[in-house]
Amino acid sequence: MDHHKIVLPEFLNDQGSLFGGNLLKWVDEFAYITASLDFPGNRFVTIALDDVAFKNPIRPGELLCFSFELTRQGTSSIHYAVKVYGKKHAPPGQVLFATTIAFVNVDAQGHKQALQKST
């Protein structure tokens, strides 16, 4: 599933590129939306982001495409590979950021529970 975001001036750091914290916030939010649509009826919390490294500055005005692919489904957890591409300034097909994000399904008290089957 893909999501999109424009890099506006309020998302920049003092060097004039995208602040990494904003990128991570969007990854977490869009991944949660993807998980909730892929596995309705579950209550997900983020448990991990792997290999977070900011290797490419992202310019203001960039149109970001966040791509999510389910890579692992356990009894109570799911993992997505995340790739972020630029659609305006970045070279076509260049991955600007990549990570893996994991969620676990929890009950109302926050305890891990098995994934609920979709109906």
Q: Can you give the pTM of this predicted structure?
A: 0.93
In a domain, 63, yes or no: yes
CA–CA separation, 44 and 63 (whole Å): 28
pLDDT digits (tens, 9 = 90+) for 90-119: 999 999 999 999 999 999 999 999 999 865
Query: Are the beta carbons of 84 and 67 closer than 8 angstroms?
Result: yes
Range of the domain at 39: 2-105
Asked whether residue 113 is domain-assigned, the answer is: no
Q: Which helix (H) or strand (E) holds 35?
A: helix 20-38
**Number of domains composing the chain:** 1
Query: Per residue in 1-48, pLDDT tens?
Result: 899 999 999 999 999 999 999 999 999 999 999 999 999 999 999 999
Cβ-based burial of 105 (10 A; exposed 0-12, middle 13-18, buried ≥19) = buried
Domain with residue 91: its CATH number is: 3.10.129.10
